[in-house]
Amino acid sequence: MKLHRNLVFAVIDALNLTFNEGEYADKVIQKVLKIDKRWGSRDRGFIAETTYEMVRYKRLYAEIAEVKAPYNRQDLFRMWAVWAVLKGIKLPDWKQIEPTPERRIKGRFDELSQIRKYREAVPDWIDEVCVKALGEKLWTAEIAALNQKAEVILRTNTLKITKEKLRKTLLDEGIVTEPIKGYAAALRLLERANVFVTDSFKKGYFEVQDASSQLVAEYLDVKPGQRIVDTCAGAGGKSLHLAALMENKGQLIAMDIYGSKLKELKRRARRNGAHNIEPREIDTTKVFKKLYGSADRVLIDAPCTGLGVIRRNPDTKWKMQPEFLDKIVKVQHDIIRSYSKIVKPGGKMVYATCSILPKENNDQVVSFLASEEGKDFTLVKEKKIYASKDGFDGFYMALLEKANK
C-alpha cells in the first residue's frame, strides 16, 4: 500500500480535532474531506476509515505509543505509526515519523490484547459499569461486536416504492443490496458506496437506518388513521418510518426540544413524501400537556448514553463522563412519566433507547410501572437487542398498553 503524505496528514488533522478539540468524528471527517477536491473515493475512504479506526482504538494505540492526552502532533504521528505497523503497512521515510520499534509495538500489542479494556479500547469506568450490568461473558462479546465497522443498512420508503423494486433500481445505479430476513423494509449494502448521491435517494425511495432502529416504529403497532405522537423525534428517522407504516393517513405529531432537528425532519419529510407529519418544538411544557390523553400511540425514543451504537459513534466512549450516565437516567425517569400521559385510555406506548444498560432500559420500565403515572399501564412485551447476538446496533424497546377505562 503506497502512502500519500497529504492523506496521512489529513488523518492527523482529523485526530487532532477529535481528540484535542472535542469535536465529533463524523463532523470532523466531513470537514477534512473538503480540504482537497481532487481526492478520489479511495483517498476519501482511506482518510475516513483510518480516522474512525484510530478513534475506535484510541486507548490501545496511545498505550502502545506511550503518549498521553492532550496529544501534540508528534504524539498523533506516533499513534498513527502504531496503527500502520499493526496493519502490516511499511512505514515511509518521513521526518514526522521517528524510527519506529516495530518488534516492540507487536510485543506490546500481544501483551495488552490479553486485557479487555485495552484490547477493546474502553475507559475503565465504562468497562466497570458494563461488566457489572451485563456480566463478564455478555459484555466481552458485546464490546467486541460494537468495535466492528457498522454495515450500511437502508430502509425502503414504502410510501414511494417496494423493497424489491428499490433493490432493482439501486442495481441499475450500480449499488448491490440484499434483503435481511426478519426486517420488513431493510436492505443491506454488499459493498460500501455513497448512497446519498443516487437518484433513488434524491427521489426519497430510502433512508439510511440501522436494522435494529427499524424495529422500533414497527413495535408501536400503528394503524393508518390513528393519532401518533413521536415525543423525541430528533431529525425524524423513526417519524418517517411511522408515516410510511400509517400510509400517510392520520396525524403524526413529531416533537423535539431542538428546533434545528425538526427543520431537518421537515426537509426529509418533503423528500419522503410524508405529508401527515406535524413538527412541534417543545419550547414550553404546554406543547405536550395540551396532548394529554389524546394519542392512540406514543413513541418515547428516549435520550440515552448511546452505548448500543458506538460502532457508528466511536468517540462516544471518550467524550462521555460517568456523571452523564446518572444525569441521563434521571432525564429518562422524568420523560417517561410526563410523556406517558399523552396516551389515551386503550392506547399504546413504546419506550426505546439505543443503549444496552438495564438501568436505562428495563429498570426504567419497572420503576415507571410501579409509579403513580404508570399504574394504568401494563408491559405487553419487550425486546433487548445486542450487537453480539443480532449483528446490528444495540437497542431496547418496550411496548406498554394503557387500560381502557
Give me the active site residues, please. Answer: 354
Q: Quick one: which of 305, 316, 314 has its CA closest to 49?
A: 314
Contact between 274 and 112 under an 8 Å Cβ cutoff? The reply is: no
Question: CB 46: neighbour CB atoms within 10 A?
Answer: 18
The three three-digit cell numbers of residue 37, written as one number: 477536491
Going from the C-alpha of 146 to that of each of 122, 227, 352, 387, 396, the distances in angstroms are 11, 36, 19, 6, 15
DSSP assignment of 36-102: -TT--HHHHHHHHHHHHHHHHTHHHHHHHHT--SSP-HHHHHHHHHHHHHHTTPPPP--TTS----H
Q: Which has the closest alpha carbon to 185: 204, 164, 171?
A: 164
CB hemisphere CA count around 192 (13 angstroms) = 10
Count of Cβ atoms closer than 10 Å to residue 121 Cβ:
23
**What burial letters (b/e) apply to 369-394, b meaning 16+ CB within 10 Å?**
beeeebebbebeebbbbbbbebebbb
Q: Which of 323, 354, 349 is nearest to 337 (CA)?
A: 349
> Helices 124-134 & 322-339, crossing angle to 10 degrees?
50
What is the C-alpha radius of gyration for the chain, rounded to an integer number of angstroms?
A: 23
Task: Report the distance separating Cα 19 and Cα 16, nearest Å.
Answer: 5
- Per the omega criterion (within 30 degrees of 0), is the bond before 92 cis? no
Asked whether 36 and 11 are in contact (CB, 8 A), the reply is no
Q: Which three cell numbers stand for residue 137?
A: 461473558
